[in-house]
Amino acid sequence: MRVSVIGLGKLGLCTAVCIASKGHTVIGVDNNESIITSLKNRNCPIRENGLRKLLDKSIDNMSFTLDFNEAILDTDVTLIIVPTPSGANGAFLNDCVTSALKAIAPALAQKKDFHVIDVVSTVMPGSAQKEFIPLLEDATNKKCGVDFGFVYNPEFIALGSVIRDFLNPDLVLIGASDEKSGETVKNLYESFVESMPEFAIMTPVNAEIAKLALNCYVTMKITYANELARLCEAIEGADVDVVTSALGADTRIGKRCLKGGLGFAGPCFPRDNTAFQKLAADAGVELFLPAQVVKANDFLVDYLFNIATRRVAKGATLALLGFAYKPGTHITECSQSLMLMERFLEAGYRVSAHDPTAEIKIEPRYTHSVTIYTDPMKAVTSAAATLLLVPWPIYCTMDWKAVWKELTHTIYFFDCWRIVKNVAHDKVKYWAFGG
């Protein structure tokens, strides 16, 4: 199949490369000239695990252009994967999607063959029917479902494992304007997936709701485990990992996303609950769960701040380990570690910071109070207390006994993921969240 991908960012470039890697011809389009130039020069403008290697392998099946016409005329399906940032009221903004649709409309108007427009970006339910399809029909003077097809086909990937997730989905969600368009996108996926996904083909509005509902459900599950961690924390002898492993064994619940610890973050999850509430409010429905999930998630920052500051005196140095919003990625968007760092700095603490890959951004007014370490052992031994905030493999495999040996003073060690465990050292006052 000949596929064009509009928007070559964190998700779009991985998608384009994965599809090309399975033998399809892919034309990548972006309105950012530097991205196109970089790719034409065989450079990889996005950091994502495995992307560089797969791009090198697939690049002969790919071309890159700023020209939307060429991309539409020379392909059968166009995937639109442009940003949909959250507006002030919590709804996703469609401006980049509509701008891309306007840019492709002239070529779509003159195209003789049936062409499928597949919007992948996360959008507010109702966008396809109320905004995207009318826009395309007006601009092309063609009928959707007859002269061209429209599909809403969001992805369920996590940064750090985009390629694996894209090629191995559990679910392929296809909200199609008509049967032919739905089948076209299904055939495309069947040609490259390495898993046996469930294909859920439905109307665009149901797919739009399902995307948001699924993400919000996952955040609710994560939050449930985190709430259990707080509960176990308060009960003598309780261990959240023992409790969640029993819950996860029940197939109605399942094991994934059920590890009590710090809250969810990143570019997608935090804004999905807000958008879900906005969707419900606009529909005149009061939903109780999304607001509580956001509240419980935000509360974890306060909770940990209080745990640490009740024990460690103001002015002391706190080592914070892990700033990426989760292991495996350098992205720090909405990271609770960044929020905690800011709270500690505001309260008069100093910070020794470490992350294996993330760039730790510090406000200019606090630069004198933060030291960034490349060696986590040095961050820990320089501080009065350590907060292990992200379960990066490097922290899981570290020789902690060797770290304790280097200590010249007694420290607190707040282990949010129960990684170090069984610490028996007179210089370490150990606290495990939920354990």
Ligand X SMILES: NC(=O)c1ccc[n+]([C@@H]2O[C@H](COP(=O)([O-])OP(=O)(O)OC[C@H]3O[C@@H](n4cnc5c(N)ncnc54)[C@H](O)[C@@H]3O)[C@@H](O)[C@H]2O)c1
- Site for ligand X (CB under 6 A): how many residues? 26
Interface residue with ligand X among 3, 4, 5, 11 (CB under 6 A) is 11
What is the rounded CA–CA span in Å between residue 294 and residue 90? Answer: 13
Beta-bridge partner residues of 14: none
Report the nearest approach of ligand X to the CB of residue 146 (Å): 26
Cα 224 to the center of its chain, rounded Å? 19
Tell me if 6 contacts ligand X by CB under 6 A: yes
Task: Please state, in angstroms and as integers, the Cα–Cα distance from residue 157 to each residue in 295, 310, 327, 411, following that order.
Answer: 24, 38, 14, 39
Interface residue with ligand X among 48, 76, 118, 155 (CB under 6 A) is 155
What is the rounded CA–CA span in Å between residue 162 and residue 143? Answer: 34
Nearer to ligand X, 106 or 145 (CB): 106
Report the nearest approach of ligand X to the CB of residue 173 (Å): 11
What is the rounded CA–CA span in Å between residue 17 and residue 43? Answer: 13
Report the nearest approach of ligand X to the CB of residue 76 (Å): 19
| Piece of the chain touching ligand X by CB under 6 A; list 23-31, 220-228, 319-327, 388-396 | 23-31
Beta-bridge partner residues of 351: 318, 370
| Piece of the chain touching ligand X by CB under 6 A; list 4-12, 349-357, 366-374, 380-388 | 4-12
Q: Which residues contact 218 (CB under 8 A, 6 or more apart)?
A: 257, 264, 269
Nearer to ligand X, 22 or 47 (CB): 47
Contact between 50 and 159 under an 8 Å Cβ cutoff? The reply is no
Q: By CB under 6 A, what part of segment 157-176 binds ligand X?
A: 157, 159
Report the nearest approach of ligand X to the CB of residue 289 (Å): 21
Report the nearest approach of ligand X to the CB of residue 300 (Å): 21
Phi, psi (deg, nearest 5) at residue 76 = -105, -30
Burial grade of 156 (CB within 10 A; 0-12, 13-18, 19 or more)? middle
Tell me if 232 contacts ligand X by CB under 6 A: no
Q: By CB under 6 A, what part of segment 53-112 binds ligand X?
A: 81-84, 96, 99-100
Tell me if 7 contacts ligand X by CB under 6 A: yes
Nearer to ligand X, 150 or 349 (CB): 150
| Piece of the chain touching ligand X by CB under 6 A; list 50-58, 152-160, 363-371, 424-432 | 152-160
Nearer to ligand X, 76 or 155 (CB): 155
Report the nearest approach of ligand X to the CB of residue 394 (Å): 23
What is the rounded CA–CA span in Å between residue 169 and residue 167? Answer: 6
Report the nearest approach of ligand X to the CB of residue 252 (Å): 26
What is the rounded CA–CA span in Å between residue 250 and residue 255? Answer: 8
Q: Which two tokens stand for residue 102?
A: 């306007």
Report the nearest approach of ligand X to the CB of residue 331 (Å): 8
What letter does residue 85 receive in the DSSP assignment? Answer: -
Tell me if 31 contacts ligand X by CB under 6 A: yes
Nearer to ligand X, 99 or 245 (CB): 99
Nearer to ligand X, 102 or 295 (CB): 102
Degrees to nearest 5, angle at CA 339 with 409 and 302:
80
What is the rounded CA–CA span in Å between residue 349 and residue 315? Answer: 4
Report the nearest approach of ligand X to the CB of residue 333 (Å): 9
Tell me if 122 contacts ligand X by CB under 6 A: yes
What letter does residue 263 receive in the DSSP assignment? Answer: P
Tokens 């509902």 belong to 213
Tell me if 403 contacts ligand X by CB under 6 A: no
Interface residue with ligand X among 267, 333, 419, 423 (CB under 6 A) is 267
Q: By CB under 6 A, what part of segment 343-402 binds ligand X?
A: none
Report the nearest approach of ligand X to the CB of residue 241 (Å): 27
Q: By CB under 6 A, what part of segment 102-121 binds ligand X?
A: 121
Q: Which two tokens stand for residue 159?
A: 């940064």
Contact between 4 and 67 under an 8 Å Cβ cutoff? The reply is no
Tokens 């790919």 belong to 62
Name the residue with the smallest CB distance to ligand X.
9
Report the nearest approach of ligand X to the CB of residue 25 (Å): 19
Q: Which two tokens stand for residue 243?
A: 């409790």
Nearer to ligand X, 123 or 384 (CB): 123
SS3 per-residue string spanning 321-364 = ECCCCCCCCCCCCCCHHHHHHHHHHHCCCEEEEECCCCCCCCCH
What is the rounded CA–CA span in Å between residue 224 and residue 393? Answer: 24
Tell me if 268 contacts ligand X by CB under 6 A: yes
Q: Footprint of ligand X on this chain (CB under 6 A)?
A: 6-12, 29-32, 35, 81-84, 96, 99-100, 121-122, 155, 157, 159, 267-268
